[in-house]
């Protein structure tokens, strides 16, 4: 069994190799046709279907999450209903090249940030964010690829709140192979209440473009 640090390096190396593979734009567009019904033609998301906006995320992060869904690291038995729906969708992607192609297509799409829906104290939320989140996700929530930390600005606020809740309950981040998920679950658990979650999300939304 590999040491966790070596496993992490191996995963990053594999993702970098995946992203270096030549992919045809039309292949990514064709693969994304499966996603349009929920995530929209411009990856703008659909709150009614609990399908988040996607095109603000990096190709590496999208590829990593699709790989997790495809391999069962996300979307397993203990996951939310919407996460379980993503697993068979990711399974339609034949291989790493298909995952890279659809991820590349998504980041090339353009959509606006959805309206704010989560109410919270942005001052308190900023304090929580700077204390617990900023070291990995960046002072402006811009993300840090070196730490596998996604960009948070531009995300649907309702989705951020749901994912933090999922980390806190173990619906996400509990799989033994989800190293980054485990890290995020530990950080989500330090927020003292649901209101603190709302405050953090409101702060992130306040600095979104």
CATH classification of the domain holding 86:
1.10.760.10
End-of-domain residue from the set 52, 83, 107: 107
The reply to whether 10 and 103 lie within a common domain is yes
**Sign of the alpha-carbon torsion through 86, 87, 91, 95:** positive
Of 1 and 37, more confident? 37
Question: Which of 13-27, 31-45, 93-107 shows the lowest per-residue confidence on average (mean pLDDT)?
Answer: 13-27
Q: Taking a C-beta distance cutoff of 8 angstroms, is the pair 105, 25 a contact? A: yes
- What residues make up the domain containing 186? 122-206
What does 170-201 look like in DSSP terms, one character per residue? TSSS-STT-HHHHHHHHHHTTS-SHHHHHHHH
Q: What tokens does 124 get?
A: 């308190």
- The Cα–Cα gap between 4 and 72 comes to 19
**Residue 208: band (very low, low, confident or very high) from pLDDT cuts 50, 70, 90:** confident
Q: With respect to residue 173, please indicate whether it lies within any of the assigned structural domains.
A: yes
**Looking at the structure, do residues 185 and 102 belong to the same domain, yes or no?**
no
Give the number of domains in the chain.
2
Mark whether 130 and 193 lie in a shared domain.
yes
Position 131 in a domain: yes
Q: How confident is the model at residue 2 (pLDDT cuts 50, 70, 90)?
A: very low
Indicate the SS3 state at residue 37. Answer: helix
Q: Is residue 71 part of a domain?
A: yes
State phi, psi for 149 to the nearest 5 degrees.
-100, 120
With bands split at pLDDT 50, 70 and 90, how would you rate the model's confidence at 74? Answer: very high
109 pLDDT band, cuts 50/70/90, is very high
Does 175 have pLDDT greater than 90? yes
Whether 77 and 170 share a structural domain: no
- Whether 58 and 126 share a structural domain: no
Say if residues 132 and 187 touch (Cβ distance below 8 Å): yes
Q: Which of 107, 130, 157 is the last residue of a domain?
A: 107
Report yes or no on 115 lying in a domain.
no
107, 141, 162: which is the final residue of a domain?
107
Q: Which residues pair with 51 in a beta bridge?
A: 46
Query: Burial of 16 by CB count in 10 Å (0-12 exposed, 13-18 middle, 19+ buried)?
Result: exposed
Q: Tell me: do 14 and 70 sit in the same domain.
A: yes
- Tokens standing for residue 116: 């704010």
Query: What is the DSSP code (8-state) at residue 144?
Result: B
Q: What is the mean pLDDT of the chain?
A: 90
103 and 175 in a single domain? The answer is: no
Give domain status of residue 34, yes or no.
yes
Same domain, 8 and 101: yes
- Residue in the structure block whose two tokens are 């617990």: 132
Same domain, 75 and 145: no
Same domain as 103, residue 51? yes
Give, in order, the Cα–Cα distances in Å from 62 to each of 92, 97, 166, 180. 15, 13, 18, 14
Q: Compute CA distances 196 → 61, 133, 171, 202, whole Å.
A: 26, 13, 19, 10
Please state the length of the chain.
209
C-alpha closest to that of 152 among 207, 190, 109, 191: 207
CA–CA distance, 15 with 8 (Å, rounded to integer) = 11
Taking 70 as the threshold, does the pLDDT of residue 14 lie above it? no
Q: Tell me the pLDDT tens digit for each residue of 21-65.
A: 444 556 899 999 999 999 999 999 999 999 999 999 999 999 999
| Residue in the structure block whose two tokens are 């939320």 | 125
**Model-level pTM?**
0.85
In-domain check, residue 114: no
What pLDDT, on a 0 to 100 scale, did the predictor assign at position 16?
53
Does residue 170 sit within a domain? yes
């Amino acid at each position: 069994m590999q040491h966790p640090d070596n496993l992490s390096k191996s995963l990053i190396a594999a993702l970098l190799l995946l992203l270096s593979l030549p992919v045809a734009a039309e292949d990514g567009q064709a693969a994304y046709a499966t996603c349009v019904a929920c995530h929209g033609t411009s990856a703008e998301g659909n709150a009614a279907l609990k399908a988040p906006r996607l095109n603000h995320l990096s190709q590496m992060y999208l590829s990593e999450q699709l790989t997790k869904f495809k391999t069962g690291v996300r979307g397993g038995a203990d996951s939310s209903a919407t996460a379980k729906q993503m697993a068979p969708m990711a399974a339609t992607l034949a291989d790493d090249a298909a995952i890279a192609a659809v991820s590349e297509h998504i980041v090339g799409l353009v959509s606006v940030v959805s309206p704010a829906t989560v109410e919270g104290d942005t001052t308190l939320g900023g304090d929580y964010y700077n204390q617990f989140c900023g070291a990995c996700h960046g002072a402006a929530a811009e993300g840090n690829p070196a730490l596998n930390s996604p960009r948070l600005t531009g995300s649907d606020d309702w989705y951020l709140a749901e994912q933090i809740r999922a980390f806190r309950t173990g619906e996400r981040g509990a799989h033994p192979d989800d190293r980054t998920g485990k890290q995020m679950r530990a950080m989500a658990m330090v927020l003292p209440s649901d209101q603190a979650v709302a405050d953090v999300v409101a702060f992130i939304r306040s600095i979104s473009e």
